[in-house]
Amino acid sequence: MTSVLLIYPFFRRRLDRSRFRFPPLGVAYVAAALLEAGHAVRVLDCTFLRRDEAARLALAAKADVVGIYCMATMTEDCLWFAEHLRGRCSLLVAGGPLPTCDPDAFLERFDVVVRGEGEQTMRELLRAHEAGSDLGAVPGVVCRRGAGARAHGGDGGGAPCAPPRPFAWDLDAMPFPARELLPNARYVEFGKRSYGYSITTVMSTRGCPFQCEFCSNVVFGKSYRERSPRNVVDEIEEALALGYQRISFADDVFTLNGRRVLEICAEIRQRRLRFAWECLGRVDAFDHATARAMKDAGCFRIFFGIESGNDAILQLMKKQITTAQARSAVEAAHRAGLEVGAFFILCYPGDTDDTVLDTLRFAGSLPLDYAGLTMPYPLPGTALLERVGGRVTRAWRPQEALLVNHVLTYEGDFSALKMRFALLKGRAQFEMKRRLRRVAPAALRLFERPTDRLFRRLK
């Protein structure tokens, strides 16, 4: 039996304004798979820890194998852990979105990179490690030379030591995330203190069949796989038993299969469960009847990734939606009594001053309760990075700022100053329209028109 430590290296920044904290489902899924295989597993979720405290706990675990999750926003902390733990365990493993995109970048500090979905790959990797056999024969693994794998041609560096692992299609056969290894009491306490209720995530599908240019979905790929409604609601009941009051579906496209959404709603009602939940939907896969069924089953909020208020930019993004569909979906959800949120990207490569202002006006014209505004990020594994790759100037790093935490990472048609101004203008404009809906439109234009002019003048 191998002792395993899985680390989720998220540390809350001093000026982090995000109100929501969700347990790391991906790490918990891998932990569950290893527990089922008979290993001794611990999870170090750093969400509520200081760096020095987390380092002390990681070293005290004295695990044989350490796996560290990494995405773009966690790169520095992931590599910091690797430096502290190198030589303190027999196998150091990196996994998650960023190692999947660029495994070679991690092989200087890690022995092995797990690409894609990690449950079965980690099981087989540990089996090979225990047997002293070739780690490079495990599908989905990339090895550092000398890390227990036979060299497969050439010296040094990293190369795929085995073919990619096929996706797992029978999601019902997977054990539920090992939530018992997570600091649930801290998440419950944080939620109740921050916004009056505790909330956790459930993932009822994996993958997304769409190919939005800016989206990095490298772990689950372009596949789309569903869990059965009964299996989903079984997990919900387990999560609620831990003290969580609400559920946030972490699916990329929860509403894609309308029939299945209705079946989940029916399963919730049949079991007489009383809890509130939220999800992310696509505007072209949503209507008023679905909204009403969701509301009746406890849904209180839905988010839509609209991204732009200009149809030409939506085509450029490969969103495969229109502004008319976006308006119809938002209004359907609003009429059903759901809170509605939407996400928008400002100053996207290809945007002009006119199209950015189109997006801000469009967002303000919708009956939204929340509007999330961001600047573009050409993330690893995205078509957007391929399009602007030669103009990337820096990797993403946390930005500590009072008003705008976003960081411009490439040379584009908009300066960092202009982008930040657009974000601040958009936030102020949206809040004025949301809070002052009974104010005459002419009064709101006293803010909008001069700031439009200032935005156009900025370079």
For the chain, the average pLDDT equals 91
Distance from C-alpha of 401 to C-alpha of 116, rounded to nearest angstrom: 33
* pLDDT score at 265: 98
Instruction: Label residues 170-182 b or e (16+ Cβ within 10 Å = b).
Output: ebeebeebbbebb
For residue 223, pLDDT beyond 70: yes
Share of the chain above pLDDT 70, in %: 91
| Joined tokens for residue 87 | 């030589």
* pLDDT score at 362: 97
Distance from C-alpha of 125 to C-alpha of 121, rounded to nearest angstrom: 6
Over residues 315-369, the pLDDT tens digits come to: 999 999 999 999 999 999 999 999 999 999 999 999 999 999 999 999 999 999 9
For residue 402, pLDDT beyond 80: no
For residue 156, pLDDT beyond 50: no
For residue 269, pLDDT beyond 80: yes
CA-based end-to-end distance of the chain: 61
How does DSSP classify residue 282? -
Average pLDDT over residues 64-73: 95
Average pLDDT over residues 10-38: 86
Domains of the chain: residue spans and CATH: 3-160 (3.40.50.280), 171-375 (3.80.30.20)
Distance from C-alpha of 362 to C-alpha of 346, rounded to nearest angstrom: 12
For residue 430, pLDDT beyond 60: yes
The model's pTM is 0.91
User: Is residue 341 within 8 Å of residue 368, measured between CB atoms?
Assistant: yes
* pLDDT score at 152: 33
Helices (H), 132-225: 184-195
3-state secondary structure of 73: helix
Length, in residues, of the chain: 459
How does DSSP classify residue 392? B
Which has the closest alpha carbon to 142: 174, 171, 118, 111? 111
Most confident by average pLDDT, 8-12, 144-148, 270-274, 411-415? 270-274
Question: In whole angstroms, what separates CA 392 from the centre of its chain?
Answer: 22
Which has the closest alpha carbon to 235: 206, 266, 277, 204? 204
Confidence of residue 155 (pLDDT cuts 50, 70, 90): very low
Q: CB under 8 Å to 278, separation ≥6 — which residues?
A: 246, 247, 248, 249, 299, 300, 301, 302, 303
For residue 86, pLDDT beyond 70: yes
Distance from C-alpha of 316 to C-alpha of 314, rounded to nearest angstrom: 5
